[in-house]
Structure 1
Amino acid sequence: MLAALRRRWLREKLTDPRYAGLFDEVDGEYVSLDCETTSLNVRDAELLAIGAVRIVGHRVLTSTAFSVLVRPDKRPDADSVKVHGLRARDVEAGLAPADALYALLDFVGGRPLVGYYLEYDLAVLGRYLKPLIGIGLPNRAIEISARYYDYKTRRQAGAHVDLSWHALLADLGVPALPRHDALNDATTAALAYQALAARGYG
């Protein structure tokens, strides 16, 4: 009920009718999403890269993945570069943020979103999207760490659950692609989602 009311409220706030399709959920398809940013502070983090991959049934469609570099207003600092390896010269030729976001919206459509600590990515994207379309992404969000927690605690009530990415992937038998690359992280999250779905937690 609350989710339906929120979606109705968001639909009324949408300022660009071209993106009304974001509210039409696509059955049996998902988009795994990840962003690389200049900071972990949602209020001032700037986008550097966005990676996304579609999940259709039991397939992760890496051949049609979405991957863009985004040109930030400020140069990435040394601490930021240490995390994701994206230097100022790497992102200078990236897309303007608005162009990257419009392309992402077209890729995502009404598909539910999958990710690991997805709330952060959606908050950063929402900051960029609200001036463009009036709202952040209204799509249903599926948090990998929450699904994994449910999977572990229902098998062993009261057990300690290590939600770190490395432990989660190792337990699910998912190969870990090199981290802090937006497309790699989105692809790994998609594989983790598939592994959980195979265990009844999709």
Structure 2
Amino acid sequence: MIPRAIKRLFHQASIGDQSYRFMFRREPADEVVAIDCETTGLNVRTDDIISIGAIKIRGNRILTSERFERMVRPDASIPADAIKIHRLRQVDVEHEAPIRKLLPDFLHFVGGRPLVGYYVDFDIAMLDKYILPFIGIELPNPRIEISSLYYDRKYGDAPPHTSIDLSFSAILADLEIPSLPQHDAFNDALMTAMMYVVLRDKKKRGMRIPRSNSQAVSDPFGGQAILA
């Protein structure tokens, strides 16, 4: 696998649409963007994005007034199993724009800021499927994985054989963050932003999350701050 730093340099040199070179511009050091995508499934190659949520974070402030929230008309029909999860039907998105029409606004919104997410590699892989043919490169933004920040605060000093739960619900509970209706791109991005702010503060203060002696192992996909 090519290291991301080397891939970033390659993308900077090979970007197809020069008007998007701002993606490599250094944004304010204390700004990141929390993102989430709702999709028709978990197969990057065959599934589609049906909604995108993104929120800017500046320092410890979640800028709910600076958000990107869009519904997307997918290329293929939404399968019944996906409808049960995010409650979006084909009729709900059939009049929305295809993702290719939304990409310019999304890319200008995130700029070169690091992208924060829960299993963010999947969201970025889904986005890259459309971004690569659009501007000739994948998203070059640094990535911040919430489950890794949480693991460090709770399990970083754990003894061997400790049971680990990295589910979204476990993180919400441990950080005492209110649970909004999930599988909504904006709500998930907002909860992710709150997780980021709390975990970053705990790291700054050297605080760890207490562990129970009877935790069960959980599939990360199974469990499913300051506002300004």
Amino acid paired to 1:194: V
Q: Does 1:18 align with 2:15?
A: no
What's 1:9 paired with?
10
For each residue in 1:113-149, what CA deviation from the matched residue of structure 2 results, as whole angstroms up to 9, or x when unmatched?
0000111111110011111011121100000001111
> How far off is 1:155 after superposition?
4.3
Q: What RMSD, in angstroms, separates the aligned Cα atoms of the two structures?
A: 1.7
Question: Identity of aligned pairs, percent?
Answer: 45
SS in 1 for 2:156: helix
The 1:157–1:199 alpha-carbon spacing in structure 2 relative to 1, beyond 3 Å, is farther
What's 2:92 paired with?
90
> How far off is 1:157 after superposition?
3.7
Instruction: Please give the residue correspondences for 1:1-202 in structure 2 after superposition, counting only pairs within 5 Å.
Output: 2-26=3-27, 27-158=29-160, 159-200=162-203
Amino acid paired to 1:29: E
Larger % of helix: which? Answer: 1
State how far apart, in whole Å, the 2-side matches of 1:145 and 1:42 are: 20
Which has the higher Rg, Structure 1 or Structure 2? 2
SS in 2 for 1:62: strand
Decide whether the 8 Å contact of 1:174 with 1:192 is kept in 2: yes
Amino acid paired to 1:160: S
TM-score, scaled relative to structure 2: 0.84
What's 2:212 paired with?
none
For each residue in 1:5-52, what CA deviation from the matched residue of structure 2 results, as whole angstroms up to 9, or x when unmatched?
221111122111111111123211000000011111111111100000
For each residue in 1:38-80, what CA deviation from the matched residue of structure 2 results, as whole angstroms up to 9, or x when unmatched?
1111111111000000001111111221100111122212111
Structure 1 unmatched runs, 5+: none
State how far apart, in whole Å, the 2-side matches of 1:74 and 1:150 are: 39
SS in 2 for 1:53: strand
Decide whether the 8 Å contact of 2:75 with 2:98 is kept in 1: no
State how far apart, in whole Å, the 1-side matches of 2:75 and 2:154 are: 42
Amino acid paired to 1:31: V
Point out the more displaced range, 52-61 or 23-32: 23-32
State how far apart, in whole Å, the 2-side matches of 1:156 and 1:124 are: 33
Structure 2 unmatched runs, 5+: 206-228
